Structure 1
């Protein structure tokens, strides 16, 4: 039986996530994959489908709603691949009891506000040109060493070169299984 990997979208949800297919094509041979649209998890209204509107809804309760919903949906041990807002949802869900082996969090800039580290394996990825990534002081305080992609911005996770590198990292522990 394959291990489970859940994928948590960025704030755009399924509508702007065609790039997710690049991840699932690479990882499907190793994992049983479950995709979650974070907007659906967080009961975010997509009627006004603009970044500021979606972001504000997540900040004003959507993250908490999505975290609780994820805890209701996932009862068994899993790995998590999370993009942007999905990373903070997974982080908070683990702190509240979600059984995560490894959290792969890409461009999850809201982590910079967190003070407590989840008790699971953590792999964080950021672009060095992402203006909202956590500071080096935050990484030192939380005792994490992120992977920083040179000359990349927030949406690095949609670029095929970055996708390949991230997927290689995710596959590595399973290569000899």
Structure 2
């Protein structure tokens, strides 16, 4: 299975080669700045472009043009929000994993594909437990973790986040 990875507003992850313990699976990494039509932006300026201007519309449109059939989507923060919305608007994926994609709290309907969301317990913008029980297929909160916990955990071999992503991808563990 191929992985379609969309990074966060800071460009994380810079490289997608070692993101998953996924053997020989192919990975395609995309940056929000490029997808939104403003490759020159990062951080707060990109956040403003995405959520206060038309950047998210551009990113969703660009994602919808990708042939995602046979792909697992993985999005970090705003990258997960872009993927979720692109799936809702027609991007075909096998499944979707969103990590710290807190703007998903505004979504009201589940997607028609398997979905897994991960949150840091200390992220003040993460959705409520009732949202988690109603919208995504599976979810997990990591105790004592902030919004950007994934920046270290996604790249750390044998971290709980990487193990949980692998369990979801392989259809084993508590996320079946």
| Common topology (TM > 0.5) | yes
Q: Does 1:9 align with 2:7?
A: yes
Aligned alpha-carbon RMSD (Å): 2.2
CA distance in 1, matches of 2:57, 2:113: 20
3-state DSSP class of the match of 1:146? strand
CA distance in 2, matches of 1:171, 1:145: 12
CA distance in 2, matches of 1:37, 1:162: 25
**1:116 and 1:167, CA in 2 relative to 1: closer, same or farther beyond 3 A?**
closer
| 1:165 paired residue number | 163
Which of 28, 35, 43 in structure 2 is aligned with 1:41?
Answer: 35
Q: Does 1:134 align with 2:130?
A: no
The count of corresponding residues between Structure 1 and Structure 2 is: 166
**1:168 and 1:45, CA in 2 relative to 1: closer, same or farther beyond 3 A?**
closer
In structure 1, list runs of 5 or more residues that go unmatched.
none
**1:167 and 1:75, CA in 2 relative to 1: closer, same or farther beyond 3 A?**
closer
Higher percent of residues as helix:
1
Please tell me whether the aligned partners of residues 81 and 104 of structure 1 are also in contact (alpha carbons under 8 angstroms). yes
* Alpha-carbon offset, residue 165 of structure 1: 2.3
* Off by >3 Å, runs of 4+ in structure 1: 18-22
| 1:23 paired residue number | 19
**1:148 and 1:98, CA in 2 relative to 1: closer, same or farther beyond 3 A?**
same
TM norm structure 1: 0.83
Residues 102-117 of structure 1: pairs in structure 2 closer than 5 A: 102-117=95-110
| 2:49 paired residue number | 57
**1:145 and 1:158, CA in 2 relative to 1: closer, same or farther beyond 3 A?**
same
| 2:111 paired residue number | 118
CA distance in 2, matches of 1:18, 1:63: 20
CA distance in 2, matches of 1:46, 1:65: 15
3-state DSSP class of the match of 2:28? strand
**1:5 and 1:19, CA in 2 relative to 1: closer, same or farther beyond 3 A?**
closer
